[in-house]
Amino acid sequence: MDTLVLPVRSVIPATPTTRIVRLDLGGRSFPFEAGQAALIGLAEHDARVPYSIASAPSETAGTGLLDFLIKFEPSGRWGHQFEGLEPGMRIGLQGPYGSFLFPPAPAEDRFLFIAGGTGIAPIRAMIRQALLSGVKGQMKLLYSARTADDFAYLPELGEMSSRNGLQLRLQVTRDAPETWHAARGRISLAQIAPLVEDPATLCFVCGPESMMADVPPMLLELGIAPERIRVEEW
C-alpha cells in the first residue's frame, strides 16, 4: 500500500501522558470509516505502528485534518517513537485498516461503548460520527482510566453528554482523589449491567488486553448476542 507523507499540524495535550497528534492531509483524500486505524511513523524511518484514528470521517472530510491519540511513555512501547514530535515534522501513513467499525446505518437504536485508556480514540470517532451523521438512538459510554487525570477528551465528552444526550460513566482503576465520587476499580458486571436495558444493544469495546478479555463475556452473560459485540482487533 502506498504511503502518504503528511505534516504535523499540531500536537495538543490531552492528558499528562497523551497527545492528540493532528496531521494535515493538504487537500488529499483519505476515506475511512469510524473505528478504523492506520499505520504511522516518522517519515524518514521505515517503522510503522498501528494507531486508531481519533477523528470522525465527517470531521476529517470537512477539515482536512486527521487525528491520533498517542501515549508518550518511557517504557519503549510504540509512543516512544513520537517523542519530540512538533508541528511541521512529517509522518508516514498507510491505511486505513481494521473491521472495528460503526455501521453507517445501524439496525439497532441502543449503543453501548466501553473504553479503557487510549482505547477511547476509535470510540470517540464512532460517537462523533454517529452524532454528525444523525444516527438516532440512545448512546452510553463507560470510560475507564488509571487515574482521574487520565481521561482524554473529557471536556468534549461532557459537552456531548449535556448537549447530545450521551450517557457518560467514568471509572478510575487506580488512584483517585477523595473528591472522586464515580466508580473505582476494574470494570465489572455490576458496572455494565445497569447500562444494558435491552439485549438488542450494539456494543463496542476497546482498551487494554485485560479489558478486551474480561468485558465480552460479561456482555454475553447479560444477554447480548455475539454478533452485537464488536471488539477492536489488530
The burial of 49, by beta-carbon neighbours within 10 Å (0-12 exposed, 13-18 middle, 19 or more buried), is given as middle
Contacting residues for 127 by C-beta, under 8 A, at least 6 apart: 113, 139, 141, 160, 166
The SS3 of residue 166 is coil
- In this prediction, residues 68-89 reach a mean pLDDT of 77
Domain 110-231 belongs to what architecture?
A: 3-Layer(aba) Sandwich (3.40)
What are the cell numbers at 199? 439485549
Q: What is the per-residue pLDDT for 181?
A: 58
Domain segments of the chain as ranges? 4-96, 110-231
**% residues pLDDT > 90 (the chain):** 77
Q: What is the DSSP letter of 61?
A: H
Cα separation of 11 and 222, whole Å? 40
Residue-wise pLDDT tens digits, 133-164: 999 999 999 999 988 899 999 999 999 999 99
Note the pTM of the prediction, 2 decimals. Answer: 0.93
Confidence of residue 84 (pLDDT cuts 50, 70, 90): confident
Q: Answer whether 32's CB lies under 8 Å from 94's CB.
A: no
The stretch 188-214 carries a mean pLDDT of: 94
The contacts of residue 149 (CB under 8 Å, 6+ apart) are 15, 16
State the chain's mean pLDDT as an integer. 91
Is beta strand 110-116 parallel, antiparallel or unpaired with respect to 202-206? parallel
15 pLDDT band, cuts 50/70/90, is: very high
Mean pLDDT of 112-138: 96
- What's the rounded mean pLDDT across residues 37-59? 93
Band of pLDDT at residue 47, cut at 50, 70 and 90: confident
What's the whole-number mean pLDDT along residues 100-120?
95
From residue 28, alpha-carbon distances to 65, 90, 136, 156, 228 in Å are: 10, 15, 31, 27, 34
Taking 90 as the threshold, does the pLDDT of residue 233 lie above it? no
Phi, then psi, of 195 in degrees rounded to 5? -90, -10
pLDDT band at residue 45 under the 50/70/90 scheme: confident
- Cβ atoms of residues 35 and 122 within 8 Å: yes
Q: What is the CATH number of domain 4-96?
A: 2.40.30.10
Contact 180, 148 (CB under 8 A): yes
Mean pLDDT across the stretch 194-204? 96
Cα distances (angstroms) measured from residue 100 to each of 37, 40, 152, 229, 233: 9, 18, 20, 10, 7
